[in-house]
């Protein structure tokens, strides 16, 4: 929490400037946007609990479904994830730390910049932080959290304090500027040392917040010199160049989330149908013995009710396009081979029956019995793509 600076006697140069300590500890209702942001983050977290998210971080599948930032999903036409990700958290500790920091610095920044400037600062910087995270993390992590946006508030606070250093009471300046620098550096160092923290979002938010603080700067009581147009334009130019550079350097995804979800659905459908076909295979063999079907009759039943079904399944699986890096890519390839093997074994069985070739029938039966062993290798839980990606907290 930002420490409370002792309120010293006001110097003449700052006689017209309100105490920053007083602004920080004014009524919470004087900072309604900060209050609303904290409430929104908490409510989203509670809602996710009802859909399977945990109090502690153990899986990112729910967050991914709700809109966390992840290259294969974001770049599959779901660019809104750059905004939604800043309201999603991975566990109660992650949420508590971010909300503590937001509540602490947000009330002051909302009073300094005004509600609408504060909203623009927070949301635009959060998106920028997520954009840098997408460039750096790409396909490697499912990320989310408010700290990229929170870091923008510290970046803006540092710019404000430095610009108004002559008009802020010296002890307040040293206290707040020193703590903001310490918090920023310590958090970035922790992001390097602790696995799972998305420092790229922190840095993106920090830099964007500092630039927006220059662009959105408004006159401060006690300072007779308002922010210059030249400074605003220079900051706007730098921000535009930075965003343009990020947009042109987003790495291509190793797969598309839509393709992965379609593959998962097809895999589940095939495994269900395979159970039915296995039962049908055994039933046909038994009925052939029991009902004394002719070889031609049994061959025809196997061709139409088994071989054709497996051939259709193989063609359906073969028609799916899935990048090699997708979680289901290996499973899909194994099942394609399995469906093809079962189709070939069924055709061979039918041909052996028609030719009354005992050796061919024996080999077909052996191939059909071995095929399920191959399918067992593909029985991987069809979970969201986040099961294969590490989750990054912010």
Active-site residues: which are they?
Answer: 147, 202
Q: Are 203 and 132 in contact (CB under 8 A)?
A: yes
C-alpha to C-alpha distances, 159 to 116, 226, 236, 272, 326, nearest whole angstrom: 18, 14, 15, 61, 43
Distance of alpha carbon 349 from alpha carbon 169, whole angstroms: 91
Tokens 């067992």 correspond to 376
Tokens of 301: 């039943």
Distance of alpha carbon 49 from alpha carbon 60, whole angstroms: 12
Candidates 385, 352, 355; CA nearest to 367 is: 352
């Amino acid at each position: 929490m930002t420490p409370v600076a002792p309120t010293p006697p006001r110097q003449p140069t700052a006689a017209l400037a309100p105490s920053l300590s007083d602004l920080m500890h004014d009524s919470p209702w004087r900072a309604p946007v900060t209050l609303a942001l904290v409430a929104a983050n908490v409510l989203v977290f509670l809602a996710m609990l009802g859909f399977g998210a945990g109090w502690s971080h153990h899986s990112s599948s729910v967050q991914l479904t709700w809109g966390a930032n992840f290259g294969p999903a974001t770049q599959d036409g779901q660019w809104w994830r750059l905004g939604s990700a800043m309201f999603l958290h991975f566990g109660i500790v992650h949420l508590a730390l971010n909300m503590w920091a937001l509540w602490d610095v947000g009330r002051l920044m909302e009073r300094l910049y005004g509600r609408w400037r504060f909203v623009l600062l927070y949301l635009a910087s959060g998106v920028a932080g997520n954009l840098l995270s997408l460039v750096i993390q790409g396909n490697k992590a499912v990320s989310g959290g408010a700290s990229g946006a929170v870091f923008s508030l510290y970046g803006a606070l540092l710019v404000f304090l430095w610009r108004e250093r002559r008009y802020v009471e010296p002890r307040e300046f040293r206290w707040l500027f020193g703590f903001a620098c310490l918090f920023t550096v310590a958090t970035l160092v922790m992001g390097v040392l602790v696995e799972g923290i998305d420092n790229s979002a922190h840095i993106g938010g920090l830099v964007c917040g500092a630039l927006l603080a220059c662009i959105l700067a408004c006159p401060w009581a006690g300072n007779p010199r308002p922010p210059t147009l030249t400074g605003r334009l220079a900051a706007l130019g730098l921000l535009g160049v930075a965003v343009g550079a990020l947009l042109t350097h987003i790495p291509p995804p190793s797969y598309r989330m839509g393709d992965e979800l379609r593959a998962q659905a097809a895999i589940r459908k095939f495994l269900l149908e395979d159970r039915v076909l296995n039962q049908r295979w055994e039933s046909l063999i038994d009925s052939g013995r029991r009902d004394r079907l002719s070889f031609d009759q049994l061959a025809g039943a196997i061709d139409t009710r088994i071989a054709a079904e497996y051939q259709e399944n193989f063609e359906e699986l073969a028609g799916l396009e899935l990048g090699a890096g997708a979680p289901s890519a290996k499973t899909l390839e194994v099942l394609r081979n399995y469906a093809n093997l079962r189709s070939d074994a069924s055709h061979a069985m039918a041909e052996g029956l028609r030719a009354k070739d005992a050796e061919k029938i024996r080999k077909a039966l052996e191939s059909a019995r071995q095929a399920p062993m191959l399918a067992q290798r593909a029985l991987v839980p069809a979970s969201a793509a986040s099961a294969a990606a590490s989750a990054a907290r912010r």
